[in-house]
Amino acid sequence: MAELTLDVARKILDAAFAKATELKLKPLVVTILDARGVLKLAAAQDGTSLMRAEIAHGKAYGALAMGLGSRALYQRAQEQAYFIDAVNTLAKGALVPVPGGVLILDGTTLLGAVGVSGDTSDNDEACAMAGIQAAGLKANAG
């Protein structure tokens, strides 16, 4: 697979929401970007709070922009806060460096990223990972 198709993005989305239902999480927003950072698919469960779509997008965008899952960005922010702040300034505030942004890989080929927001960051990440794996792809959370 050379690119992330809409059908695959839908599988990721459906499986991520299924995982949220299984875990009885708060309502989520799932955003899926292709390797260029272009929106492929985004959806919000009923009852999500304001800003969840922007946060989910920022998690996915940050992972793509830095080539690292957002868990790694979170760790980097702990160790080098000035660096992540500077990068986020360059990105006009578009990065959200907390878990929940996961790279989508087909072998070693980057296809895009998933960002999830709505519950704890760890739970958001678990849903993103479940979605990617259900589509038969490799997830890199950092």
Question: pLDDT tens-digit profile of 113-124?
Answer: 999 999 999 999
Give domain status of residue 72, yes or no.
yes
Alpha-carbon radius of gyration of the chain: 14
Give domain status of residue 127, yes or no.
yes
Give domain status of residue 117, yes or no.
yes
Q: Which residues constitute the domain of residue 124?
A: 6-140
Give domain status of residue 1, yes or no.
no
Please write down the HEC assignment for all residues of 40-58. Answer: EEEEECCCCCCCHHHHHHH
The tens digit of pLDDT for each residue in 38-84 reads 999 999 999 999 999 999 999 999 999 999 999 999 999 999 999 99
